[in-house]
Chains A and B, each alone.
Chain A
Amino acid sequence: MSDQAAAKISVRGVKKSFGPKRVLDGIDIDCAAGESLVIIGGSGTGKSVLVKSILGLLRPEAGSIRIDGIETVGLRRAQREPLMRKFGMLFQGGALFDSLRVWQNVAFGLIQGRGMERDEARRIALEKLAAVGLGAEIGELSPAELSGGMQKRVALARAIAAEPEILFFDEPTTGLDPIMADVINDLITQCVRGLGATAISITHDMTSARKIADRIAMLHNGRIIWQGPTAEIDRTDNPYVDQFVHGRAEGPIRMEVRAA
């Protein structure tokens, strides 16, 4: 694990509960500048909650989250605004704005968030759409007219439009066929490398994790139970990781479900 002060993103002892259910129970993890970290784990283990906590969409009850060494937990809305400019996020369902056309979705952060002129923002939006393999004619459509794969690509174009320093990908390949999933994985890798950005992705798709990660961490029962370089995930003797990676029904994770 890299040193907390040197890390681009550093999470220490983060706890988050919803009612009586503790979802995050003392998360410790770092992500270095330019690194692509993938967090894996079963459904409902708190992967999205962790990412939303880092983004400031959820407020942890305890712990510290530092971005470029600056503590972000407890920041007020106005103080958080400059920080949000560093982020780009691809949501699981795309989260495209239904009422806007595709190019307006991609240009949204540039126009509303950064006050860019509409024409200039539109030019950049079309450029980003081209970068994810979509033509200018797609820009005139509404999100409802696009397939799931195209929506993910538009969402990716929107996430990278403002060329953020840090990118988050929430289940980028969920609901896509294997070929389209591979296309999205390639695009993510290209975009992250092209921007030189730091990336945190969450997924339970191991093919995707292997392709886009420099490092993988596994979240289970509210804690990071394993982390290491991507190449090591197949060599670990951690029974939880081994069971998850090989998708076996039998193993410690299953046993805990039974006990519950």
Chain B
Amino acid sequence: MIGFLASIGALFIAFLAALGRIASFAVQALAAAVTPPFFPRLILRQIVDIGYFSLPVVGLTAIFTGMVLALQSYTGFSRFNAESAVATVVVLSVTRELGPVIAGLMVAGRVGAAMAAEIGTMRVTDQIDALTTLSTDPLRYLVLPRLVAGFVALPFLVLVADIIGVFGGFLVGTYKLNFNPVSYLTQTGQHLETMDVVSGLVKAAVFGFVVTLMGCYHGYQSRGGAAGVGQATTYAVVSASILILLLDYVLTAVFFAK
């Protein structure tokens, strides 16, 4: 019994230690934002990479999510004659939840993994040590631009995803479920509040930070050649995905709890 409790305790301590290491890593990287030199070009390049190049995958996911949502809610709501709520359900679900969560998960898979692999490879091939010997702080040069870019780019990406997702619902609603296009759009706007969109964008900024932090942290800590880089990539995607779902609940509770 004591052995069992001890192993739970050891796991808990290891979890807290990992949390501490990640927090310390983030603080050290963010502290570099206060003093020059700054790397605006690198930030811009990362914003393009995270935001622009993720558009196809996020857009595709968003349109199908909106379409499925319209179809499913129609099937469910028609059982108690509430078909008119379909447009409202689609727009609220997409802006509050599915837009940021789906975009966050897609970016975790596409960008978080790539960051962990790139920084991990730099670590195991001594490129990060080389940066230090060339009087360049690796946290300032590699990590900070990615964290800033994730935080800035995700809200824009989610805004586009919201529009595409709602459009997906509109397509299914009007072409397949025979809603009147004008009344569908009226229903869409009627119950949508600014807070619905803003809360989704705040979530997106947090998810963007988390995805890039996990990618950078696990890449930076990777050891042991190709196997270590592979492991870092897996950890980056899994930890970012779990944190996105966990923080989604926390942020929803903060925004909408009554």
Contacts and interface: CB of A to CB of B under 8 A. Distances in A.
B81 interface: no
A139 interface: no
B252 interface: no
Interface in A91-113: 91-93, 95-98, 108-109, 112-113
A81 interface: yes
A112 B130 contact: no
B133 A55 contact: yes
Given A95-B125, A112-B141, A89 B130 contact: yes
A81 B125 contact: no
Nearest to A56: B132
A249 interface: no
A169 interface: no
B99 to A, nearest CB: 32
Interface in B26-70: 37
Contacts of B122: 97
Which 4 pairs from chain A and chain B are nearest by CB? Answer: A113-B135, A109-B134, A95-B126, A95-B130
Contacts of B125: 93, 95
Interface string A68-93: 00000000010001001101110111
A91 B130 contact: yes
A193 interface: no
Contacts of B196: none
A52 B135 CA distance: 15
A89 B127 contact: no
A114 interface: yes
Given A57-B133, A97-B127, A98-B127, 12 more contacts: A55-B132, A84-B133, A89-B130, A91-B130, A96-B130, A98-B121, A108-B134, A109-B135, A113-B136, A114-B135, A158-B134, A162-B134
A95 B121 CA distance: 10
B81 to A, nearest CB: 59
Interface in B102-158: 121-122, 125-127, 129-130, 132-137, 141
B129 A112 contact: no
A114 B37 CA distance: 10
Interface residues of B, number: 15
Contacts of A89: 129-130, 133
B136 A88 contact: no
A50 B210 CA distance: 36
A57 B134 contact: no
Nearest to A52: B129
A259 B107 CA distance: 53
A103 B125 CA distance: 19
A115 B133 contact: no
A4 B77 CA distance: 84
Interface string A107-149: 0110011110000000000000000000000000000000000
A259 to B, nearest CB: 27
Contact of B129 (A91, A96, A115, A162): A91
B136 A108 contact: yes
A88 B133 contact: yes
25 contacts: A55-B129, A55-B132, A56-B132, A57-B132, A77-B137, A81-B135, A84-B132, A88-B133, A89-B129, A89-B130, A89-B133, A95-B125, A95-B129, A96-B130, A97-B127, A97-B130, A98-B121, A108-B134, A108-B136, A109-B135, A112-B37, A112-B135, A112-B136, A113-B135, A115-B37
Contact of A95 (B127, B135, B136, B141): B127
A162 B135 CA distance: 11
A109 B134 CA distance: 5
